Structure 1
Amino acid sequence: MKAIALFSGGLDSTLAMKLIIDQGIDVLAVNISTGFGSTKDRLEHMQNMCNQVGAELKIIDIQSEFLQDVLFDPKHGYGKNFNPCIDCHAKMFAVAKRIMEAEGASFLISGEVMGQRPMSQNKEALQTVLNESNCDGLLLRPMSAKMLKPTIAEIEGWVDREKLEGITGRSRDRQLELAKEIGLADFESPGGGCLLTDENFGKKMFDFIKYDKFEVKDIPVMKFGRHLRLSDGAKLVVGRNKEENGYLQDIENDKFFHAKTVGIPGPHALLSKDAGDADRELATKIILSYTKADPKKVYTISYDGVEQKGSPFETREEANKFNVL
């Protein structure tokens, strides 16, 4: 017997897998990447969690499918920010069902806890996701199973319902107790996980689509730096520290110039390739304003090798007026 787990790397999905593995069922942990999961690479952490409970890990990239089918026209709308949680979950379950069929597995599991997130994990929302993904009966939620109607796996006797949990609400006490019982180490503290639920990230997304078509290659651009919208509509992204400069430097996106200071230390930046002369001059002033450059002197910024001269604003506050956030 084999099950496919929708695996986030978090405590709940790790414990859900353990509850099923302990009943003698093989579990394939599937992490479905929309591209908006995190600014950090969590592969090592996810592999560690899977190793501790005895599950195999598989990463599935659905970035293109997610943008095309879900992100910009969610049937069930957005949450507080740019987060189409119900439609996103339904898409993930539909993808997991495809994998289940391809792998010859018998059912799906997830770490969702009823009531943990009031909007996307109430009883009605949990059922909506099943209906939308055609997974009703196939998806077992081990953490809240005793509070939900029995699934095929329980009815058929593949899984003993009595050995599952009946957790509801936002308290983490029972999860922490279970983690201690099985000796689970290095698990993450609970967090949003998805960048689309973040208010500031949402503002950057709404600003981007106001001016441009959003594509898969634009996802990395959104994750790092200070985002500014210039007077004539060009987009400027300026690294805020050494780590962000490194990430921005590695981005390959033909919509943007890579901009860097010449002769003085400064941030790495990205500027829309369709920026006009006025916006390029403004970008130069802004980038220099995030250096120690003297407003009375002239400096050079290289835009993919094309040099532009300029001076910084007198104060950073003048540059900050163009911030998207």
Structure 2
Amino acid sequence: MSKIRALALFSGGLDSLLAMKLIIDQGVDVIGLHFDTGFGGRNAEQKKEYLEKITQKIGAKLEIVNIREQFIQDILFDPKYGYGKHFNPCIDCHANMIRVAKALLPKFDAHFVISGEVVGQRPMSQRFDALKKVEDLSEADGLILRPLSAKLLPPTLPEQKGWVDREKLYGISGRSREVQMELAKKYGIEDYESPSGGCLLTDENFSTKIRDHIKYDSFDLEDIDVLKWGRHFRLPGGAKLVVSRNKEENEKLGAIEVTKYEKFTLPLPGPLSLISKTASNEDKELAAKIALTYSKAKPENEYDVQIGQTTIKTSPFETKKEAQSFFVQ
């Protein structure tokens, strides 16, 4: 038989790192699958660099799997088990990742799937009943092993077949991370992500922007990146206005290939802005005024702002408070 290999759901956090390391120490090859839903954070380049470094440290391989389109179409707006506190469909999301990982087993000549989930650690997605829902929804067929809590759960196929030794697995439960911290120290794992850091769908402000967006528009791939940056305004005619906050956001918004928006800059130092291509002239005039308000423009002066084929002569508001009345987040 070929060497036993496992595919791990790898968020980048400590639990998934330890789950992989426990299985690697049993002589199993482990490939960490990092699923890119688009909502993992705002700094993808830094994230990738970190993932490569930390998987190498523990002796795993890394594969980044882009599931953005599938996640939007199948999970984000119609989760069977609903949302957490904000726009996070955690149970359906975990099940989806396991289902995709299981489908990838033949491609990587792998035998089972690992998850870093810990019984009782998260109130929505890691209760006993939630783990059972994930198991059923993912159609895992006994192939999903949770090394950190395995002794609290029924034996899985990898344990029954002797691919891993159940006695070398753990029975961690609850929100305390004392055992994980001890294991991290044992393995010399120091630069891991915080347990809360990651999914933007658990962020209240980001969730507010999604809800506002779908009230007025369809949700497409490009919208993920637009929602990550800038101040978002909803104008009276229904148009969306995005105004960057700083030089970095100017660069990020400028790099996005948009089909729904027009990009416009100001005739003096200030933010790059996006406005819906369907915006009315009235909304464009207001957008120009708001964008100027966040620049070095002076209220007593008029400026020519070019939005598409339209040139708008206007002045900024006297104060940002007037612009903020149209604020989404």
Report TM bin, short chain.
over 0.9
1:279 lines up with 2:288 in the alignment: no
Query: Equivalent residues in 2 for 1:174-323 (5 A)?
Result: 174-262=179-267, 264-304=268-308, 306-323=310-327
Which has the higher mean CA deviation after the structures are superposed, 249-258 or 304-313?
304-313
Pick the aligned partner of 1:36 from 36, 39, 45: 39
Pick the aligned partner of 2:13 from 10, 19, 22: 10
| Aligned mates of 1:192, 1:199 — CA distance in 2 | 14
| Aligned mates of 2:308, 2:49 — CA distance in 1 | 34
| Aligned mates of 1:116, 1:241 — CA distance in 2 | 37
Which has the higher mean CA deviation after the structures are superposed, 81-90 or 226-235?
81-90
| Aligned mates of 1:310, 1:92 — CA distance in 2 | 50
2:25 aligns with 22
| Aligned mates of 2:195, 2:82 — CA distance in 1 | 24
SS of the residue aligned with 1:294?
coil
| Aligned mates of 2:286, 2:308 — CA distance in 1 | 17
Q: CA deviation at 1:243?
A: 1.3
| Aligned mates of 1:308, 1:172 — CA distance in 2 | 57
2:94 aligns with 89
Cα pair 2:304 2:313 within 8 Å, conserved: yes
1:145 lines up with 2:150 in the alignment: yes
Deviating beyond 3 angstroms after TM superposition, the runs of 4 or more aligned structure 1 residues are 304-307
Q: CA deviation at 1:115?
A: 1.1
Q: CA deviation at 1:112?
A: 0.9
SS of the residue aligned with 1:321?
helix
Which has the higher mean CA deviation after the structures are superposed, 180-189 or 19-28?
180-189
Cα pair 2:16 2:116 within 8 Å, conserved: yes
Give unpaired runs (5+ residues) of structure 1: none
Aligned length: 324
Matched residue type, 1:144: S
TM-score normalised by length of structure 1: 0.97
Q: Deviations over 1:276-305 (max 9, x none)?
A: 000000001100111121111101223357
Matched residue type, 1:320: Q
SS of the residue aligned with 2:105?
helix
| Aligned mates of 2:191, 2:216 — CA distance in 1 | 42
SS of the residue aligned with 1:51?
helix
SS of the residue aligned with 2:253?
helix
| Aligned mates of 1:49, 1:294 — CA distance in 2 | 49
Give unpaired runs (5+ residues) of structure 2: none
CA RMSD of aligned residues (A): 1.1
Which has the higher mean CA deviation after the structures are superposed, 306-315 or 116-125?
306-315
Cα pair 2:284 2:307 within 8 Å, conserved: no
2:166 aligns with 161
Q: Deviations over 1:233-267 (max 9, x none)?
A: 000011112211110111111100111111x1101
Q: Percent of aligned pairs with the same residue?
A: 56
1:101 aligns with 106
TM-score normalised by length of structure 2: 0.96
SS of the residue aligned with 1:92?
helix
Pick the aligned partner of 1:69 from 70, 74, 82: 74
| Aligned mates of 2:148, 2:24 — CA distance in 1 | 14
Q: CA deviation at 1:156?
A: 1.5
Q: CA deviation at 1:307?
A: 3.2
